[in-house]
Structure 1
Amino acid sequence: MRRTLRARICLPALLALTALGLGAHTSTAAPGPDGAPAPGPGATATAAQYSLNSSLAQRLGDRSAGSYLDSATGELVVTVTDAEAATAARAAGARAELVRHSTAELRSAMDALQARAAITGTSWGIDPSSNTVAVEADSSVSARDLARLKKVAASLGDRVSINRVPGVFTKEVAGGDAIYGGGSRCSAAFNVSKGTARYFVTAGHCTNLSASWSATSGGAAVGTREGTSFPTNDYGLVRYTDGSQPAGNVNLYNGGYQDITSAADAVVGQSISKSGSTTKVTSGTVTAVNVTVNYGDGPVYNMVRTTACSAGGDSGGAHYSGTTALGIHSGSSGCSGTAGSAIHQPVKEALSAYGVAVY
């Protein structure tokens, strides 16, 4: 399986979670009631919608091309390729939308891109709201490579759309407030547990660097690496070895913390927040799922693209919505406010890989 993830812890008391990402400014969204930036412009997903999205994806299989939240109505829209699937979606409580391309067709297009145009600085993923594979090419992609990408995309017809984005897709291990190892500083995303043992998850490109992690630069170790995976995936697991029993919450950088009680897969169109040690709390919208990102040191798969931007030092931070953990910050390109692309690893994949849970 291809996966990715990141995590966050607080300092001394290790009470909360933060992040480390790339090139962005703090969101200018109006503050919410707790003083943190308000959620992005997308719809707010409910626990029932997360569950319905997951169950219909399993039930409909290739007769669907994914789901998204309608930003105007807040409804869960399930894209389907036949009338029978539409009836099933409506009966389950979703709005059905007939589309031309199934998930299998869109995945086939991504396979073709991977085989013929796996160019560093590109990414692609499924956007159910447009029933396309949404491709992005950053500023490092040469004119020659862009021409090759466009030629491959043209051969795939209306299944593929291409957008040029500023900046360079990159993951960063620099700056940030929370965890130090291998001469670098990263952030953790979520505190997790297995039985009575406590851990945090963070970016695999961070845990690749060191087995021992501290909460202050040059300080005593607070945890030891128990797993790491990057590239292909981007997640790592660190076990607390200092006797800490940290709370399962996320730092809002205003003196408050957001409690995390569950984990889910993000839905295209939903609003999302990111907590990171450099840009603090930013907000945005989920724009694509099943995303492949071609970093300079190798691809990662099955990621999520958002507009909850970041800057150097945010890698490994927490992507969440309300009390629900959604992802671990991986990287970004062209971030400024809520413009550009920020990438996260679905946190449920990481939790499953290590047999741990948020709390």
Structure 2
Amino acid sequence: MASTQTPSPARAAISTSNTRSSQEVTPDFTDPSFDPADFLNDVLPPLTLASSQSRGAGAVPLAELSAQVQSILTQINAQNVRLSNQLTQLTDEILRSGGRLAYEVEVLRGEAIGLSDTLTEVLQPDIAQFVPEGLQTAVDSDKDVAMAQKGEEGETAVEEGQAVADPDYITKLRMLNQVRSRLEDVVQTFGDAMEWPLPPSETSLTSSFISVSAPEPGPESQSLEEKGQEVARKLRNEITELLNTNGGGQAGLDAATKRLEALRELATIWKGSAEEKARNRFLDSLAKIIDDRRRSLENQGSSDQSQARSSSTRGKTMGHQRQESEGPGGGIFKNLQRLREEIYLE
């Protein structure tokens, strides 16, 4: 498992070497430089392949090493379950806070509308006592003169002045509306992601270099497998139905391509995770269905064009043959026939 190489810094940090019990070893998945192979090489002791081989410092036989691997994998599995529960809790908190923030934005919006109505209707007489109408008229006339003198530049300056003069609560309200729209997008994205489970069989480590005897899957794993397979079938059927819309033409192909692009964008949530490759394989299978339909439409279009060209060529050939059959020789025989009929009638 590990050779007599110079230990890495991570190995030196872990290897107060094998004096700790393996139950204290857990990987730090939050470290961007985490590497599974380096972690296993740092944690596990060297392997002795034969009993006659001279053992190095800390070398263990295969049976003992297998037991340590089983123990470490059990700990990693427990840690993954714990981290998954934490992620689920964070997702639930985001969903709950989304509704609460939307409610608070609506409350602030209602208060802003009420304040605006109060200033423009209820308190208008009181405001008129402090701001005479003549003063406002004079200010408006001055603005008109300035705008007439400055032209377009004056209009731009006035618009910028009005934009800067927005009250603070209006600016904050706009910001809250933007936050709400962004949060709604996040909630929608997480909802779509939760509705797209992946079958556990797609992420199985059958090709791993470590063979571990795992327990039989329980009913929960079977239900996840069935749900994941059902969602995969629904997505395939959805792509097929989109391809068959409008007679299976270009419009259906464009709709299916747009849906596939949306799924690829959604799949970026799992970028860097263990499910990334499996989801990309599934999306590639959907893309193959769309590419097959695109090639079929292209072949059909080229065959229709070739048939149209052949039919036009055939029509021209038949017309030319008919003209040749009715050429000078044909005209002479018709004239002789008509002359014979006239003589017979006389």
TM-score normalized with structure 1 length: 0.17
Which structure has greater helix proportion? Answer: 2
TM-score by length of 2: 0.17
Indicate the structure (1 or 2) with the bigger Cα radius of gyration: 2
- Comparing both chains, which one has the higher relative contact order based on Cα–Cα distances under 8 Å and sequence gaps of 6 or more? 1
